[in-house]
Amino acid sequence: MTRRQRARGAHYASRPTRPRACFLRAAQVPVAVQNAILGHADGSVGASYGPGLPCEGLAGGGGEGDVLVKSRPVENTLAEFDAALSFCADVLKLKEPLARSRFTTHHRPLLERLCVAQREGADTNAIFNADRSASSIALTEAEELASLLPLLRVSDTNILRQKVETALIGPDIPMEENQNSNRGRNDLFELVMAGKLLVAGYTPILGKHPDLACEVDGRKLLIECKRPSSDGAIRKRLKEAGGQLGRQLKDWRAGTGTRGVVALSLTKVINPGDQFLRYKREGEASRFLGDCLQTVQQECYSTVEALPAKIVGVLWHVITPAIDETANMFVVAQHMLVQGINRTSLHDDAPVKKVYDKLAEVFDWSS
């Protein structure tokens, strides 16, 4: 039994009826889901805040966020996607790597075909449904790259160029990745996390070790980002990040008030790329994804507890294509579980909680 199945079972085990939110294989997506692209949505985000170690689950945490769905035509996605591509080509001087990347050879042609079909009144579903997995990945990653435009415009060009050039590497879909080709999406996750910090009002600093850094209320946070590729790799990546942060925090240049945070993308673990999250109400999707993340968080309790003392938080993140059955549209759904870690006092995790509060304010997460 996979973790994805365990998470689903734990969430719905006491319910006699079919789960209200669940994953479907691409081939199982109902043909009746109409206007898929006209109803494509972005910005679907939920979140919850954990009270820190020691804890039993998230009891007493900061609450559970709703999934926020903002419908938009694919033309808007393509326009912002093109703006990001132009910036990468012209400002970052990445024209050749960009021309070879999945964003240019796979994602953009699909979006262009969908836009033309929309303008001509043709059947967009026929294009999208020809390969639903590849189509949903194209839309999801196009949204991710488009969302980075504010970050691209304000970051240090030299460091940013290196990160973006690496992010362009990789096969069209995550299921075709291996250890030699997963660096692209790994760096894309770092950029996505930096983008979230930026919109929350912080100034993210991109680097190699740590991957990210920012200052919160006068205290510097070092952030190592990891993207485990399988169930068994989660604890390994956590320990790896802990070791890296431990060494960085011992460096005299870090400063006495500097603390560490681990950011984990569980997207490939929860949904390798061949499934869609199905739900009827937005809150169901948020609860389901939150429960998936919480299950992993609880199973990794001892690993998190063993992290170096100056690590004060873990950010658990997932993004997945989804189907809103009530609205009959494909959407991009995200969820982040923000876990604070308190060891010496109830205020160790104060900067992590502040980041959560800022994100909640920007994305209008319910508390």
Q: Is the pLDDT reported for residue 22 higher than 90?
A: no
Closest to 320 (Cα-Cα) out of 13, 41, 2: 41
122: left (phi over 0), alpha (psi -120 to 50) or beta: beta
The single-letter DSSP state of residue 64 is: B
Range of weakest confidence among 31-45, 55-69, 155-169, 319-333? 55-69
pLDDT at 279 over 70: yes
Predicted pLDDT of residue 54: 30
Average pLDDT, the chain: 78
Helices (H), the chain: 3-12, 74-90, 95-100, 102, 108-119, 124-129, 132-147, 149-154, 157-167, 183-199, 234-250, 267-270, 282-299, 301-305, 350-363
| Average pLDDT of the residues in 278-295 | 83
Of the listed ranges 4-18, 44-58, 96-110, the one predicted with least confidence = 4-18
In degrees and rounded to multiples of 5, residue 323 shows phi and psi of -125, 120
Work out the pLDDT band at 51, boundaries 50, 70, 90.
very low
User: For 149-172, what is each residue's pLDDT tens digit?
Assistant: 999 999 888 889 999 999 999 999
| pLDDT given for residue 274 in this prediction | 72
Range from 120-129, 179-188, 200-209, 346-355 carrying the lowest mean pLDDT: 120-129
* Confidence check: pLDDT of 82 > 80: yes
Question: Mean pLDDT, to the nearest integer, of 130-151?
Answer: 86
Highest mean pLDDT among 21-30, 213-222, 324-333: 213-222
The pLDDT of residue 252 is 67
pLDDT of residue 118: 76
How far is 187 from 57, CA to CA, in rounded Å? 30
The whole-number pLDDT of residue 72 equals: 57
Task: Find the Cα–Cα–Cα–Cα dihedral 75, 80, 85, 87, rounded to 10°.
Answer: 150
Can you give the pLDDT at residue 283?
A: 77
39, 286 contact by CB (below 8 A): no
Of 153, 160, 149, 131, the C-alpha closest to 79 is 149
Question: In the predicted model, is pLDDT for residue 256 greater than 80?
Answer: yes
Residue 270 tokens, joined = 């929860």
pLDDT at position 208 is 86
Contact 199, 193 (CB under 8 A): no
Q: Is the pLDDT of residue 63 over 60?
A: no
Please give the Cα distance from 292 to 278 (Å, whole number).
14
Please give the pLDDT value at position 251. Answer: 84
Higher pLDDT, 193 or 139: 193
Stated pTM of the model: 0.82
Instruction: Supply φ then ψ for residue 38, to 5 degrees.
Output: -60, -30
Q: What are the structure tokens assigned to 117, written together?
A: 């079909």
Q: How far apart are CA 152 and CA 192, in angstroms?
A: 11
Question: pLDDT band for position 17 (50/70/90)?
Answer: very low
Q: Which comes out higher in pLDDT, residue 367 or 87?
A: 87
Please give the backbone phi and psi of residue 295, each rounded to the nearest 5 degrees, phi first: -60, -45
Rounded CA separation 129/362 (Å): 34
